[in-house]
């Protein structure tokens, strides 16, 4: 589950990406907050993190604000998730970037919990690492495939329309 902070970050980036596609004018934080529905006081901290990561830039001056400096297709959602929410692995022993041995584990190789969650996490990772900010933009984005209660992005579906 993503945090509210991550949702605000995504909404702000969507606003900035749409503005870049239309006018390429810097947007003040008040305008981003208004368009995204995110509280201004939270956005200030979030936008600083995103700026420091090199996805957006701040422009000083009377007509200043924030602008996109990377194209939406170059902004991986998995990278944003890790930056905003931290490790995305369900268990610390499965994390590639923040690995920690589980305190109560005696043998990772035979741990049944790790084995099952590793399979689930691997599938999730394949999906989430295939998504970019571009996938969140407008009707021109990729189509979704509904399988039961699950909605899968096109990257997870074979050309025949089945989950692959």
pLDDT at 68: 93
Nearest residue to 125 via CA among 162, 158, 76, 85: 76
pLDDT class of 150 with cuts at 50, 70, 90: low
pLDDT class of 146 with cuts at 50, 70, 90: very low
Note the pLDDT tens digit of each residue in 45-84: 999 999 999 999 999 988 889 999 999 999 999 999 999 9
pLDDT at 23: 78
The whole-angstrom separation of Cα 129 and Cα 148 is 22
The whole-angstrom separation of Cα 43 and Cα 29 is 7
**pTM of this prediction?**
0.75
Structure tokens at 120: 């689930």
Note the pLDDT tens digit of each residue in 69-128: 999 999 999 999 999 998 888 888 888 788 878 888 888 888 888 888 888 888 888 899
Structure tokens at 80: 């944003």
Strands (E), 25-99: 56-59, 65-68
Residue with tokens 């989950």: 163
Question: Is the separation of the CB atoms in 126 and 119 below 8 Å?
Answer: no
């Amino acid at each position: 589950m993503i945090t509210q902070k991550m949702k605000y970050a995504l909404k702000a980036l969507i606003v900035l990406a749409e503005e870049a596609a239309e006018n390429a004018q810097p947007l003040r934080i008040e305008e981003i907050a208004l368009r995204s529905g995110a509280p201004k006081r939270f956005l200030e901290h979030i936008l600083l993190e995103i700026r420091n990561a090199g996805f957006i830039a701040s422009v000083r001056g009377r007509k200043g604000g924030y602008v996109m400096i990377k194209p939406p297709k170059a902004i991986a959602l998995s990278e944003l998730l890790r930056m905003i929410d931290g490790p995305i692995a369900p268990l610390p022993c499965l994390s590639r970037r923040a690995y920690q041995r589980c305190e109560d584990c005696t043998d990772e190789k035979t741990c049944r919990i790790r084995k099952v969650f590793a399979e689930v996490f691997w599938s999730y990772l394949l999906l989430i690492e295939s998504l970019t900010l571009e996938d969140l933009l407008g009707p021109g984005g990729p189509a979704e495939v509904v399988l039961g209660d699950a909605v899968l992005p096109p990257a997870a579906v074979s050309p025949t329309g089945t989950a692959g």
